[in-house]
Chains A and B, each alone.
Chain A
Amino acid sequence: MVMFSLTPVLDVCTQQQEGKELTKEEKQRLRKEKKQQKKSKEKKDDKPSRDSEKEKKPASAASPAPQTPTQPPAQKAAPAPVPVPASETPSAADKPAKSKAELKAERRARQEAERASKGKKGDVGPQAAPGKPKAPPSELQPVVKRLPEHVQVDNPEVLKKLAKKLERQQVYGCAPNCCGCIPLRSDYGYKVSLFSHLHQYSRKAPLTQQLGIPSTVIHPAIVRLGLQYSQGIVAGSNARSVALLHAFKQVIRDYTTPPNEELSRDLVNRLKPYISFLNQCRPLSASMGNAIKYIKKEISNIPSQCKEEEAKRKLLNCIDCYINEKIVLAAKAIAKYSIEKISDGDVILVYGCSSLVNHILCEAFEKNRKFRVIVVDSRPRLEGREALRRLVQKGINCTYVLISAVSYILPEVSKVFLGAHALLANGYVMSRVGTSQIALVAKAFNVPVLVCCETYKFCERVQTDSFVSNELDDPDDLIVTRTGTTQLEHWQEVPSLGLLNLVYDVTPPDFVDLVITDLGMIPCTSVPVVLRVKNVDQ
């Protein structure tokens, strides 16, 4: 996808800036040479040991630019899922230790020479993107499968690299000796061993406390957004995406192209540190990842002869269109299809607070369907209360239970409507923790389970369990009970005690009977078809 969109930009650039074009070509040639050198050295050396760290270092050094965490998950669609801990990457690349140091030195020397001659400053962001997708098809080298660093938290090497990367993402205008523009957020508390590869942050230590003043390096709209995410003020996949897009609109409005720079490339580079910052505040969701991809594509597609005002207007328009089409109109289309499935006398079970499911139920109620709703809720978020409030306000007959009572209440239920955080490429549904439990029990009672999801939440990732990639929320949320007593207050002092506050879980497609999207009603196994059609369209 990135390759197709960036080649026209390259063509435009070649006409205007010969110097930069040479640099890009040279860099690609250099990369190819390096890889071929590595290959020949591999053949000479018969070292069989595959140390994961050694593989990771040349792999990360091979692409010279820092990459946002959203890109690696997206670009790993083709290789098979890698649900293994970080220490055993099953890659076939054999990189002996001694040649790596030599290669690195060579590469560094070349890069210094280039930099001196061309006087290039800052990131090589846009060049990495055409470089990277072009490199794998041209090289016959085995592809090194790199795990995204947000699932390698227990690996100190990766953490060090991440810290360095955040430091390197200097924003223009930031003083060169201003260290740690985007601070690395530290983990909090003891993590349950099965999930030790994930981040666990405390809500009481938001990232903004570690940001220096003046925080002009990060746009204030983004700082506010990050804070809203980390404190849970903006929650829910649609709400987060819309807030993100609005913040980006503000960024674009306040943006001015520096002299000798192109809007299409500079703006993308500006957005990278913001995205890293937001990722530190709270890991990005699949819908946000897709929205960011879309924006980056739109920005890169701005022709360079476009004036700044016009370009900004165009981008703001694009973002508005995206929100309108993918979220607002999609909700209307899904409501239209769902109403066919809601008949009079139905008892519908919903879990948690999904904006889409609430919208559907309100629409159906307005169309005079007679049904009643059972809202299932779970600690510690108790989001069901919000759903309950919205439905009761409309006048819908509701019942409220906690998830522990779900097998008691299910014989009464005729349908289950669930929302989704993302739909994975193998048909699995990623949603709030507890959803797979509801789907399982509903299957046991032969109650049809319907998942409602817009197509912009479809993601190319593949996951078969909830351990590999998840989000850990603040464990202190679990301390307070209904009666207000806090027996777990000193949980950190008990060495054998760990608190686990998972956010998401993954439901297999066997438990889901129907997925209602804005394209229609599809079975869960048709998600790859939709993704394929979407890619062809783009």
Chain B
Amino acid sequence: MNEEELVEYFRAQMRKDPDMASAVAAIRTLLEFLKRDKGETILGLRESLKWATDCLTGEDSSVAVSSGGELFLRFISLTSLEHQDLSRCKKVMEERGELFLEKISMSRTKVAKLCHTFIKDGAKILTHSYSRVVLRVLEKAAAEKKRFSVYVTESQPDSAGRQMAEALRKLNVPVTVVLDAAVGYVLEKVDLVIVGAEGVVESGGIINKIGTYQMAVCSKAHNKPFYVVAESFKFVRLYPLNQQDVPDKFKIYCDFHLFITTFSEHSWRSCWCRVRRCSSLSALTQTT
């Protein structure tokens, strides 16, 4: 499977299901790549999988694709590969890959199941921009017959917050769109803040749409709980010390549905806030 086929397959997956996370599509692509790979050695297999991940990262530069690819590779190799012939090893790896894919496809549902209990009846929630995971959480809470209202920030420059508001209106949830600058004004009214994440870094912080850091700092000042919902494949092996330390490739995002190629000096997705301490990454991959 060469580069064009890889990218084409990836795009096809994204087109098939626009609601799917790009990382899931990437992992599907990698699994297909693994099945079609004609390598002779396990080391060669790993190298070609890494190369495939790099290709996909070049196509879609979000953090989740690179972290998902790396976690996929680790998961399938985290087993005894001491078989005599390569085809059996490959079979084992493919089975692990299917297992991994199955687990992460259900990840949003699992997150929603765990998180909806944090939303109490009558709660006022603040969220930032459009996040499918947060939407799923709020859907689940609404399905549990909880009454809550939502404030969404408009989240310029792409006004993704309005998309979120539309989706919430369809669920009959009272929603208000506020300006990004109005976060400090509205925080005294809300009970909790829930945001999604592009990536979770090793120090326990998150990478997310620009404006999230301000929201986190303000909510700390107001002593409001700040929750982040993220699937486990978004845990990435980065350790940024400050905003400048995040690699540039994660800061600029080209959405290939909308073909936005302009980016201003203030990068879109570079925002890192220390939410709360998480355990180290190695402990996490053992549980996946």
Contact = CB atoms under 8 A, between A and B. Distances in A.
Nearest to B280: A526
Interface in A194-246: none
B241 A529 contact: no
Interface string A415-435: 100000000000000000000
Output the residue of B202, B204, B239, B245 with the most chain A CB within 10 A: B239
A525 B203 CA distance: 10
Contacts of B261: none
B241 A514 contact: yes
A499 to B, nearest CB: 39
B262 interface: no
Contact of A523 (B204, B242, B245): B204
B154 to A, nearest CB: 29
B283 interface: yes
A529 B202 contact: no
B280 A529 contact: yes
Interface string B223-258: 000000000000000010110010000000000000
A105 interface: no
A298 interface: no
A521 B245 CA distance: 14
Given A513-B203, A514-B203, A523 B280 contact: yes
From DSSP, what is the main secondary structure of chain A's interface residues? mixed
A514 B239 contact: yes
Contacts of A415: 241
A370 to B, nearest CB: 16
Nearest to B274: A513
Nearest to A509: B277
Given A514-B203, A529-B282, A529-B283, A523 B241 contact: no
B280 A513 contact: no
Interface string B247-286: 0000000000000000000000000000001011011000
From DSSP, what is the main secondary structure of chain B's interface residues? loop
B282 A525 contact: no
A415 B245 CA distance: 12
A130 interface: no
Interface in A507-528: 513-514, 521-523, 525-526
Nearest to B239: A521
A44 interface: no
A341 interface: yes
A306 B203 CA distance: 49
Contact of A341 (B202, B241, B279): B241
A448 interface: yes
Contacts of A514: 203, 239, 241
Nearest to A516: B239
A448 B202 contact: no
Nearest to B242: A448
B283 A513 contact: no
A446 B203 CA distance: 16
A448 B245 CA distance: 11
Contacts of A450: 241
A446 B241 CA distance: 10
Contacts of B283: 529
B282 A523 contact: no
B270 to A, nearest CB: 16
Interface of B: 202-204, 239, 241-242, 245, 277, 279-280, 282-283
23 contacts: A341-B241, A341-B245, A415-B241, A448-B242, A450-B241, A513-B203, A513-B241, A514-B203, A514-B239, A514-B241, A521-B239, A522-B202, A522-B280, A523-B203, A523-B204, A525-B277, A525-B280, A526-B279, A526-B280, A529-B279, A529-B280, A529-B282, A529-B283
